[in-house]
Amino acid sequence: MKDLHRMVPVGKGWGAGLARVSEGSDLDLDLRLESVVEGVLVSGTARARVDADCARCLEPVSWDELADIQELFVYPPQDARGHRVDTGVDDEEDSPPVIEDDLIDLEATVRDAVVPRLPIAPLCRDDCPGLCVECGALLASDPGHRHEVHDPRWAALGALLGEGQQDQQQLVRDTVHDDDKDD
| Tens-place pLDDT, residues 36-60 | 998 999 999 999 999 999 999 999 9
- Residue 64 inside a domain? The answer is yes
- Residue 71 inside a domain? The answer is yes
- Residue 41 inside a domain? The answer is yes
One domain, residues 14 and 100: yes
Q: Which of 63, 97, 117 is the last residue of a domain?
A: 117
Amino acid, single-letter form, for residue 153: R
One domain, residues 111 and 21: yes
Number of structural domains found in the chain: 2
Helices and strands, number each (H, E), in the chain:
2, 6
Q: Let me know if 176 is exposed, middle or buried by CB neighbors in 10 A (0-12, 13-18, 19+).
A: exposed
One domain, residues 13 and 56: yes
pLDDT in tens, 2-23: 999 999 999 888 988 899 999 9
Higher pLDDT, 64 or 177: 64
- Residue 86 inside a domain? The answer is yes
pLDDT-derived band at 82, boundaries 50, 70, 90: low
- Residue 13 CA to residue 20 CA, distance in Å, equals 8
One domain, residues 102 and 49: yes
Q: Let me know if 118 is exposed, middle or buried by CB neighbors in 10 A (0-12, 13-18, 19+).
A: buried
pTM of the model: 0.69
- Residue 137 inside a domain? The answer is no
One domain, residues 10 and 91: yes
One domain, residues 113 and 156: no
One domain, residues 28 and 105: yes
One domain, residues 101 and 177: no
- Residue 132 inside a domain? The answer is no
- Residue 73 CA to residue 42 CA, distance in Å, equals 8
One domain, residues 40 and 98: yes
One domain, residues 107 and 157: no
**What is the mean predicted confidence (pLDDT) over 135-162?**
81
Range of the domain at 8: 2-117
Q: Where in the chain does DSSP place strands (E)? A: 2-9, 14-16, 19-21, 26-35, 39-53, 60-74
Nearest Cα to Cα of residue 69 among 104, 40, 44? 44
Output the CA–CA distances (angstroms, integers) from residue 7 to 22, 107, 121, 131, in the order listed.
15, 13, 28, 38
- Residue 110 inside a domain? The answer is yes
3-state secondary structure of 158: helix
One domain, residues 52 and 112: yes
∠ CA(85), CA(87), CA(93), 5° rounding?
A: 125
- Residue 122 inside a domain? The answer is no
